[in-house]
Amino acid sequence: MSTNSNPTSGFQFNHTMYRVKNYKASLDFYTRILGMSLLDSFEGGDFTLFFLAFDGAGSESERKASKFSREGVLELTYNHGTESQDVTYANGNTEPYRGFGHIAITVPDIVAACDYFEEQKVAWKKRLTDGKMRNIAFILDPDGYWIEIVENKMRI
């Protein structure tokens, strides 16, 4: 029996992992377009893990150390060779394999953010002006994963 009165003290929701087919396309998208920083990478034989986050400031050793001590980390798993194989990852939003839905990026100004994504020619699932919900948008990453864009001041 645990004697700790609060056994979940210090727990953090550290990261979310999904698989990517072409790591070069994904790193370009998440760093150059979205503005995340690569905190660290880890090669495990036939796969490589990439750890990304916003505000990945500090020295290289500080960024590396932060990958398990902060929240908001995205871990991308690249299985070597998938970019030249018949591999398509499921984004989780199509029957019969629904489950995972999306990650969400909050932004200070959603109109400015969406204008910027237009300039960057990102693929859209839903522009701000599509559909009934005019305060959220969805862009697609290179594998087709949905990324919701929400203003950080939004109230629902």
Known catalytic residues? Answer: 148
Our CB check for a second copy shows the closer of 69 and 129 to be 69
Categorise residue 85: left if φ over 0, alpha if ψ from -120 to 50, beta otherwise.
Answer: beta
Q: How far is the CB of 129 from a second copy (least distance, A)?
A: 18
d(CA 67, CA 63) in angstroms, rounded, equals: 7
Which pair of tokens denotes residue 111?
């109109």
Q: Is 148 annotated as a binding residue?
A: yes
Q: How far is the CB of 124 from a second copy (least distance, A)?
A: 17
Name the residue among 25, 28, 29, 13 with its Cα closest to residue 147: 29
Secondary structure element (H or E) that encloses residue 23, with its range: helix 23-27
Phi, psi of 115 (to 5 degrees): -60, -45
Q: How far is the CB of 77 from a second copy (least distance, A)?
A: 6
Our CB check for a second copy shows the closer of 23 and 145 to be 145
Binding site for a second copy (CB under 8 A): 1-2, 4, 6-19, 34-36, 40, 42, 53-54, 65, 68-75, 77, 89-92, 96-108, 112-113, 115-116, 119, 143, 145, 148, 150-156
